[in-house]
Amino acid sequence: MPPRSKIPRPTVKRLSLYLRELESHIERDQQTISSKQLGTALGLTDAQVRKDLAYFGQFGHPGIGYRVQELTNKLRHILGTDHRWNAAVVGAGNIGRAVMPYARFARKGFDIVAIFDDNPSVIGTEIAGHKVRPMRDLPKLVRERDIKIGIVAVPASFAQQVTDELIRAGVLGILNFAPVRLDVHDAVSVASVDFSLSLEQLAFQISLGMTGPLEELSP
Amino acid sequence: MPPRSKIPRPTVKRLSLYLRELESHIERDQQTISSKQLGTALGLTDAQVRKDLAYFGQFGHPGIGYRVQELTNKLRHILGTDHRWNAAVVGAGNIGRAVMPYARFARKGFDIVAIFDDNPSVIGTEIAGHKVRPMRDLPKLVRERDIKIGIVAVPASFAQQVTDELIRAGVLGILNFAPVRLDVHDAVSVASVDFSLSLEQLAFQISLGMTGPLEELSP
DNA sequence: CGTTGTGAAATGATTCACAGCT
DNA sequence: AGCTGTGAATCATTTCACAACG
């Protein structure tokens, strides 16, 4: 077990992709998979796949490839999804409501166990089997239900404030759906999902494709 | 106007961030902004900001900074959001329903003008002012309403098929919410949004923080 | 054989540092 | 003075290419 040098950021992102691909191969009862196969399925080179995995140990078998079940287990362990995480949603608007019943979260090891909002007209209503709670209940529930992840689904202008409250209550990570950069201290992790950002990327690529590679963008 | 070398991928992602930040400065009636200010707000260095912007022309004014309104216009033009885009949602499940009324899309220049689903129990119902249409109406509506972007909000197992239908109908870009890699030919662009992927990134970072930088991940 | 793991080389992105403009 | 644009230097990531293994 080498002391392992530091992991490139892009590698971490790909880890989830590998896992997702492996899971589909388990369903098909495939026993082993080569870096070539795995790479092709995801649009990566075989060398990239091998290098990524090798950061974490020697999981492969020369001449054979990787055993699908074995590698799946390793990746789950690396990603920390070999046990379950409790999460709470803050914000019972469109996005909060859409996330609550998202079955894939549960399959991936994440259980949403509470939802909060401060709008009096939604407090007490039920969403996907959970009663909407006022924000003042947050600290108590985070403690009682061992909530480790806060999902921020409020408008941008409230996102930082809600984040601060979640962190004060004791969560270790924030999944942020609001289109702002959240400031947090180092002990807390943030991952962001920004729809409009992705749409803009798309618009850029389309414009590029229509004008030919990079014409008349500058005056 | 130099023939401009090719643009780094990360630069394109940051362009949207710059625009978002600038818009908040317009609201505050700020006339100019320096690369330092812009960078600090987004957690980037000033050099990074200048280099990114310089790929597209000389927008800055030495001694002054960038004029907020001017740079905003330039960025909108570069990103292709200086005109409006029509989009259609496919899939009237949780995610499709959440995306329909997402006001931010419209503010960013994207108008959702139709929603499709093949589940008979939702066809004909109204969501955010739009009647849900059957998939067979897709080609006609894409033509009639000049739809350039398809938003894929169906389960992973249908995503590729729906994508193919959208492309055949004539869209130029796909915003994909399904957790799969979509195969498309080069003339079409894809941007993906994957919640569970982001959650896994988060779990990884949290695990890392708890075990200390990278312990006992390999056997 | 086929396939991994890994140094070495190549490519890509960021930061430095400073000339030059206002 | 304050700030941009940019070549040069540094740092990061990917690809190459091959020895070693089952």
Distances in whole angstroms, Cα of residue B43 to Cα of each of A171, B21, B69: 23, 12, 22
- Cβ B36 to strand D below 7 Å: yes
pLDDT digits (tens, 9 = 90+) for A7-59: 999 999 999 999 999 999 999 999 999 999 999 999 999 999 999 999 999 99
Beta bridge partners of B90: B116, B152
Shortest CA–C1' contact from A51: which nucleotide? C5
Residue contact B187–A196, C-beta within 8 A: no
Q: Does A193 touch chain B (CB under 8 A)?
A: yes
Q: Which of A206, A208, A211, A216 to mutate to test the interface with B (most CBs of B within 10 A)?
A: A206
Cβ neighbourhood burial of A36 (10 Å; 0-12, 13-18, 19+): middle
3-state secondary structure of A192: strand
Among candidates B142, B132, B135, which has minimal Cα distance to B169?
B142
Q: Which nucleotides of D are covered by protein (CB under 7 A)?
A: 1-7, 12-17, 20-22
Query: What does the pLDDT average to over B138-147?
Result: 98
Q: Report the range of poorest mean pLDDT among A164-168, A181-185, A210-214, B100-104.
A: A210-214
Q: Does B201 touch chain A (CB under 8 A)?
A: yes
Cβ neighbourhood burial of A215 (10 Å; 0-12, 13-18, 19+): exposed
Q: Does A182 touch chain B (CB under 8 A)?
A: no
pLDDT of residue A5: 65
Q: Does B134 touch chain A (CB under 8 A)?
A: no
Confidence bin at A6 (pLDDT 50/70/90): confident
Residue-range domains of chain A with CATH: 4-78 (1.10.10.10), 85-197 (3.40.50.720)
Query: What does the pLDDT average to over B2-26?
Result: 89
CB atoms within 10 A of CB B120: 8
Residue B163 and residue B191: Cα distance in Å, rounded?
12
Pairing of strands A126-127, A130-133: antiparallel
Among all protein residues, pick the one whose CA is nearest to the C1' atom of D21.
A62
Query: What does the pLDDT average to over B93-110?
Result: 95
Residue B217 confidence (pLDDT) above 60:
no
pLDDT of residue B3: 41
Cα dihedral B82, B86, B88, B94 sign = positive
Q: Which of B19, B56, B173 sits opposite A206 (nearest CB)?
A: B173
CB atoms within 10 A of CB B161: 11
- Cβ A36 to strand C below 7 Å: yes
Of all residues in chain A, the percent with pLDDT exceeding 90 is 91
CB atoms within 10 A of CB A159: 23
CB atoms within 10 A of CB B7: 18
Average pLDDT over chain B reads 93
Which chain B residues in 56-75 sit with Cβ < 7 A of strand C? 61-64
CA–C1' span, B196 to D16, in Å?
34
pLDDT digits (tens, 9 = 90+) for B194-206: 999 999 999 999 9
Q: Does B61 touch chain A (CB under 8 A)?
A: no
Strands lying side by side in the sheet with B173-176: B126-127, B130-133, B110-116, B85-90, B147-152, B173-176, B189-192
Q: What is the helix (H) or strand (E) element at residue A18, kind and residue range? A: helix A9-27
CA–C1' span, A210 to C20, in Å?
37
CA–C1' span, A101 to C19, in Å?
59
Residue A17 and residue A43: Cα distance in Å, rounded?
11
DSSP state of B135: G
Q: What is the helix (H) or strand (E) element at residue A184, kind and residue range? A: none
pLDDT of residue A210: 80
Nearest CA in chain B to A78: B217
Cα dihedral A134, A139, A140, A144 sign = positive
Q: What is the helix (H) or strand (E) element at residue A86, kind and residue range? A: strand A85-90
pLDDT of residue B59: 97
Confidence bin at B209 (pLDDT 50/70/90): confident
- R_g (Cα) of chain B, nearest Å: 21
Residue A99 and residue A34: Cα distance in Å, rounded?
35
pLDDT of residue A209: 83
Residue A60 and residue A68: Cα distance in Å, rounded?
10
Residue contact B193–A192, C-beta within 8 A: no
Whether the CB-CB separation of B96 and B89 falls below 8 Å is answered with yes
Q: Does A6 touch chain B (CB under 8 A)?
A: yes
Which chain A residues in 136-165 sit with Cβ < 7 A of strand D? none
Chain B contact set for A7 (CB, 8 A): 214
Residue B12 and residue A18: Cα distance in Å, rounded?
25
- Cβ A4 to strand C below 7 Å: no
pLDDT of residue A19: 98
